[in-house]
């Protein structure tokens, strides 16, 4: 590593969104357990690793307008049926909500 290179930081999660909290409470216990396993995995990755991870399927969402000040929203696989929606801010993944209905994560009905 060169003297000027900074080590890559692991991703930190922000799960404090009120919408995330309410969708979390609506999940069945088994789905919460799967989500916790995914969140633990994410915190052991750098952003470069997360982007390449085939299991997370990190994808930009074009059909939903991001909140003011956020460049874009992204979805990622939380479990086989659940997608997470959030955005990157520095080394944080700010999770806005989780969507048990896979298609709804992209703004589809």
Alpha helices (runs of H) in the chain, residue ranges in sequence order: 18-26, 29-42, 47-52
Report the C-alpha gap between 43 and 50 in whole angstroms: 10
pLDDT digits (tens, 9 = 90+) for 43-70: 999 999 999 999 999 999 999 999 999 9
pTM (2 decimals)? 0.84
Whether residue 105 has pLDDT greater than 60: no
pLDDT digits (tens, 9 = 90+) for 32-42: 999 999 999 99
Residue with tokens 């995995």: 41
Tokens standing for residue 64: 């939903």
Whether residue 24 has pLDDT greater than 90: yes
Is residue 76 within 8 Å of residue 59, measured between CB atoms? yes
pLDDT (0 to 100) of residue 4: 63
> Which class for 22: exposed (0-12), middle (13-18), buried (19 or more C-beta within 10 A)?
exposed
Q: How many other C-beta atoms lie within 10 A of the C-beta of residue 7?
A: 7
């Amino acid at each position: 590593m060169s003297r000027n290179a900074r080590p890559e930081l692991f991703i930190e999660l922000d799960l404090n969104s009120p919408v995330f909290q309410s969708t979390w409470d609506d999940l069945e216990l088994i789905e919460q357990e799967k989500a916790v396993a995914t969140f633990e995995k994410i915190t052991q990755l750098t952003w470069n690793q997360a982007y390449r991870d085939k299991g997370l399927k990190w994808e930009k969402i074009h059909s939903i307008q991001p909140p003011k000040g956020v460049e874009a929203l992204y979805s990622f696989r939380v479990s086989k049926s659940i997608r997470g929606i959030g955005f990157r801010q520095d080394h944080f993944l700010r999770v806005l909500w989780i969507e048990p209905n896979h298609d709804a994560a992209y703004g589809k009905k």
